[in-house]
Homo-oligomer: A and B are copies of this chain.
Amino acid sequence: MLTLSQLAGLVGGSVPPRDENLEITGLAGLSEAQSGEVSFFGHPRYAAELKATQATAVLVPRDFDGVTNAVCIEVDNPSAAFTAVTEKFLPPPEIPQPGIHPSAVVHEEAEVAADACVRENAVIMAGAVIGARSVVSAGSSVGRGASLGEDCLLHSHVVVQDACVLGDRVILHSGVVVGSDGFGYETKNGRHHKIPQSGLVVIENDVEIGANTTIDRARFGRTVIGEGTKIDNLVMIAHNVVIGRHCIICAQVGISGSTTVEDHVVLAGQAGIVGHIKIGQGSIVGAQSGVSNDLAPKSIVVGSPPRPIGEWKRSVIRVDRLASLYSRVKKLEAPPSAD
C-alpha cells in the first residue's frame, strides 16, 4: 500500500495536496482498474477507456489535457513509470534456489557453477558449461560442449544443441531451439542429399528469444545473434544468418540462410527475408513484407516486393481507385456525342 504522495515520489510526478493521502493498493489497465488502484494512459487511442476508468489515479504524460475522473499524475513516460509501480506492487518472480534438482541429469564431464540452478528433469550433457547464477528450467537440455555465460535464464523446455555458445544474461523462453541443423541439400537426379551442418550458433550478451523460436546452426562457422537483440515468438533464423546488435525481430518473422541483418534493425511481424542479402543498419521492415534484395541503411519499407512506406501507401490508394480509372478510360474511348 502506498499513498498517492509516495506513489508520485516514486515516479517523479506530483499530486494536488488534497489527494496526497489517498491510498493505492494495486494496479491495473484502465478498463479493469477499480477504486484504490492506479493505471496509466500510454496512448491517445485509449481516451475512451481513460474517461470511463474507475481507477483512483492515472499516470499521464506531462502535457496531458484529457478527460478523466481519476487523479492525474503527470510524468515523462507513463508506460515506464507504470513499470516502476508494477515492480513496487508485484512480488518479484521467484528466483530458483541454486543447485541441481535430484531429477536432473548432469553428465559427469559437464561444468555447472555452484550458484547455478538446474531444475526438474533438465539434462546437461558432456562438456557443457553452465555459468554463475544461470538457470536451466524444467525439462530443458543443454548439449554436448554447449555453454551458457552468467545470469542466463532458460525457461522450461528449451533446447540448446551441441557446441552452441550463449553469452551473459541471455533469456530463452520455453520451446526455443538453438542449434538445429540448417536446411541444406545437394540435389542429384531429383534426390536431396543432406549437406553436413558443422557450424554452431553464438548468442551474445543480453539477447532475449521468444517461445518456440528456432535458430539453426551454421553449415560451417557461426550463426550469430548480436548483443542486446530481442526476438519474439515463432521466429525462424536460418543457418549462417548474422544478426547485429540491438535489433527487434517480431513474431513469426523468417530469415533465410546467410543473410546479414545489421545493427538496430526492426523487422515487424511475419516479414520474410530471403537468403544471402544484407539489411542495412537501422532499417525498418513492415509487417508481412517480403524482402529479396539488399536494403540500404535506414530504409523504411513495406510490402512484397518492399517499397518505401510513403510510396507503398500511395500505391495502395492507386490500386483502390482503379475502378474509376477504368471508367475514365472508357469515357475517353467513347465516340464524341452527336450534339
Interface residues of A (CB under 8 A from B): 27-29, 32, 43, 45, 77, 79-80, 82-83, 86-87, 90, 93-94, 101, 103, 105, 120-121, 123, 125, 138-139, 141, 143-144, 155-157, 159, 161-162, 171, 173-175, 177, 180-181, 183, 185-186, 190-192, 194-196, 198, 208, 210-212, 214, 216, 220-221, 228, 230, 232-234, 236, 238, 240, 246, 248, 250-252, 254, 256, 264, 269-270, 272, 274, 276, 287-288, 290, 292, 304-305, 307, 314-316, 318-320, 322-323, 325-326, 328-329, 332-333
Does A230 lie within 8 Å of B121, measured CB to CB? no
Which residues of chain B are within 8 angstroms of A27 by Cβ–Cβ distance? 220
Does A157 lie within 8 Å of B157, measured CB to CB? yes
Does B319 lie within 8 Å of A315, measured CB to CB? yes
Does A270 lie within 8 Å of B272, measured CB to CB? yes
Pick from B159, B181, B256, B307: contact of A269, CB below 8 A. B256
Does B159 lie within 8 Å of A180, measured CB to CB? no
Which residues of chain B are within 8 angstroms of A292 by Cβ–Cβ distance? 287
A184 to chain B, nearest CB (A): 9
A291 to chain B, nearest CB (A): 10
Which residues of chain B are within 8 angstroms of A325 by Cβ–Cβ distance? 325-326, 329
Which residues of chain B are within 8 angstroms of A326 by Cβ–Cβ distance? 318, 325
A297 to chain B, nearest CB (A): 14
Q: Nearest residue in B to A229 (C-beta to C-beta)?
A: B192
Does B214 lie within 8 Å of A210, measured CB to CB? yes
Does B161 lie within 8 Å of A174, measured CB to CB? yes
Which residues of chain B are within 8 angstroms of A174 by Cβ–Cβ distance? 159, 161, 177, 180
Which residues of chain B are within 8 angstroms of A240 by Cβ–Cβ distance? 29
Does A276 lie within 8 Å of B230, measured CB to CB? no
17 A-B residue contacts at CB 8 Å?
Answer: A29-B221, A86-B198, A121-B121, A123-B156, A155-B180, A171-B194, A173-B181, A183-B233, A183-B250, A211-B216, A212-B212, A251-B256, A270-B270, A288-B304, A325-B326, A328-B333, A332-B332
Does B141 lie within 8 Å of A141, measured CB to CB? no
Does A185 lie within 8 Å of B230, measured CB to CB? yes
Does B183 lie within 8 Å of A28, measured CB to CB? no
- Give 4 new A-B contacts, CB below 8 A, not counting A125-B138, A288-B288: A28-B221, A120-B123, A177-B211, A272-B287
A320-B315 contact in complex given A212-B175, A221-B28, A272-B270, C-beta closer than 8 Å: yes
Q: Nearest residue in B to A305 (C-beta to C-beta)?
A: B316
Does A254 lie within 8 Å of B251, measured CB to CB? yes
Does A276 lie within 8 Å of B43, measured CB to CB? yes
A246 to chain B, nearest CB (A): 6
Complex-state Cα separation, A271 to B45, whole angstroms: 23
Which residues of chain B are within 8 angstroms of A276 by Cβ–Cβ distance? 43, 45
A322-B323 contact in complex given A123-B139, A183-B251, C-beta closer than 8 Å: no
Complex-state Cα separation, A157 to B214, whole angstroms: 13
Does A173 lie within 8 Å of B162, measured CB to CB? no
Does A192 lie within 8 Å of B246, measured CB to CB? yes
Which residues of chain B are within 8 angstroms of A141 by Cβ–Cβ distance? 120, 138-139, 156-157
Q: Nearest residue in B to A304 (C-beta to C-beta)?
A: B288
Pick from B83, B94, B274: contact of A144, CB below 8 A. B94
